[in-house]
Structure 1
Amino acid sequence: MKVDFWQLSRDPVEKVVALIAQRVLDSGERLLVVSDSHEQREAISQGLWRAGPDSFLANGDASGPQPEAQPILLSEVPEPANKASHVIYADGNYREADGFDRTFLLFDDGTVEQARATWRSLDGAEIERAFFRQDGGKWVKVA
């Protein structure tokens, strides 16, 4: 399993989720986006629908109709009703969950200490970790 830590600075969470979501869908996989905040999930959903000038990233809420049919599912719990292989923790709160090939933990200044603690807690685990931050407008792997 891989866990990628993405430190938000310039771009809002909904823009970063859309960036990652597009890459996941382009690889033929499905995505689960998890946040405790209903308001944040709504903002992410709207951002996905307006992802590009000529495109949108179809998504739905886990409590809505046919969650299993959604290519991108938004939920407050890491349960992939859509059989997602990738999960984004958009609220900076890492959760232990099995069954995902890749996990993205998005964090900002308010959750940076929590992200550092999560990084340390994964020491020695059979998990490949990476750390990304923005440099100008481009995402750069720094660890």
Structure 2
Amino acid sequence: MAQADFYILPAADEESRYRFLGKLATRAIGAGHQLYVLTDSRQQAETISERLWHAGPETFLPSHVSNDTTESHAPIQLGWETSHLPKQPDVLVNLSSHYPAETAQFKRVTEIVIQQDDILEQTRQRYKSYQQDGIKPNMHDMRNRS
């Protein structure tokens, strides 16, 4: 059964979400994990991939925007369709607007939440969906941290 972690950020901008993803990915890759970042579209996946490649001078976060024809061994895969899921699911980072039906295939699921009304509402719905699937979400409130 998957473990779900919700990281509640204080900011409302997408850029904060991408910076946090970079920090999270650095720790996860350092611990030997493979990440699959679920997005809503190819354009969003490409934007996030670009941000990861340029996360910082001391950080190397190789990523690959998935498609149906090429396979990559990059530690971070980005996709927007079920057919893009990795053959060996490990950590799912859900940056899409919906609850991923494939959650049970992953050991861990991460939600990065920013302070936008639509994202907060989607997060509330996904929180309930995790609970209905028997997954107890862990909340990490980053709003009071420096």
Range of TM-score over shorter length: 0.7 to 0.9
1:86 is matched with 91
Match of 2:131, SS state, is coil
Match of 1:43, SS state, is helix
Match of 1:131, SS state, is strand
Once residues 67 and 17 of structure 1 are traced to their aligned partners in structure 2, the CA distance between those partners, rounded to angstroms, is 22
Match of 1:135, SS state, is coil
Residue by residue over 1:66-111, the C-alpha shift from the partner in whole angstroms, topping out at 9 and shown as x without a partner, is: 4341211010025432523001111342212132000012233222
Task: Please report the TM-score for the alignment, with normalisation by the length of structure 2.
Answer: 0.79
Which ranges of structure 1 fall in alignment gaps of 5 or more residues?
139-143
State the Cα distance separating 1:23 from its structure 2 match.
1.6
Higher relative contact order, structure no. (Cα contacts within 8 Å, ≥ 6 residues apart): 2
1:68-79 residue pairs with structure 2 within 5 A? 68-78=72-82, 79=84
1:25 is matched with 29
Once residues 126 and 134 of structure 1 are traced to their aligned partners in structure 2, the CA distance between those partners, rounded to angstroms, is 25
Contact conserved, 1:18 with 1:57, CA < 8 A, in 2? yes
1:88-107 residue pairs with structure 2 within 5 A? 88-97=93-102, 98-107=104-113
Contact conserved, 1:32 with 1:88, CA < 8 A, in 2? yes
Sequence identity of aligned pairs in percent?
23
Please state which structure has a larger fraction of its residues in strand: 1
Once residues 144 and 53 of structure 2 are traced to their aligned partners in structure 1, the CA distance between those partners, rounded to angstroms, is 25
Give the one of 121, 129, 143 matched to 1:113: 121
Please state which structure has a larger fraction of its residues in helix: 2
Which ranges of structure 2 fall in alignment gaps of 5 or more residues?
none
